[in-house]
A = this chain, B = another copy of it.
Amino acid sequence: MGNPNRDHEYLGKLQDYYTDYRSLPSYAVIGEMLGMASKSAVSALVKRLTLAGYLETTPDRRLAPTKRFFERDLADFNVPAGLPAAANDAMSEALTVDEYLIPRPSSSVLIKVRGDSMVEAGIHDGDIAVVEKRHSANLGEIVVAIVDGEYTLKELARDKQGYLLLPHNAGYEPIRPQEGLEIFGVMVGLIRKY
């Protein structure tokens, strides 16, 4: 072959570039970066990396990194033997916490929780709730509702008299909305910092 396979090295430089700019350069610039004089060489490289699963083409024909693009060498991890199940399985395919918690940024809002009416559901004062804006919710979901002009975080429930909002704290009473119940959004995640 013309050369030992330097694709891994090339990939590394692309990863560095993307880390710096959150964007991939054009073929011309890639060639410059990697020391290639022709764009056709870059084109071939891109084909190889695409085949290997590191790059892909968006529906509108733009070059974009795949999830695998962000994989790091296992050697970097240096895991002590017997580490408790690291959260890789939980985070599954997400590369960042942000992506894990917020799949649809435009319809999600972060809301700081005030009060202790939900402590028994593991939601404390000062926690941050990830709320997906919706006007409907299922029973049993934790929702941000607007009751008498005030925002409140409770579990959505219903009995024979209609909908009601359940706190998760023995010291609080369920709320029965007087005039209509308006749902602001549904809680889909929780963030806490110690």
Contact = CB atoms under 8 A, between A and B. Distances in A.
Interface in A93-139: 95-115, 119, 122-124, 126-128
A113 B85 CA distance: 9
A12 to B, nearest CB: 3
Given A75-B111, A87-B184, A106-B12, A81 B190 contact: no
Contact of A84 (B108, B182, B189, B193): B182
A75 B191 contact: no
A128 B102 CA distance: 15
Interface residues on A, range: 35 or more
Contacts of A106: 9, 12-13, 15-16
A64 interface: yes
A115 B179 CA distance: 41
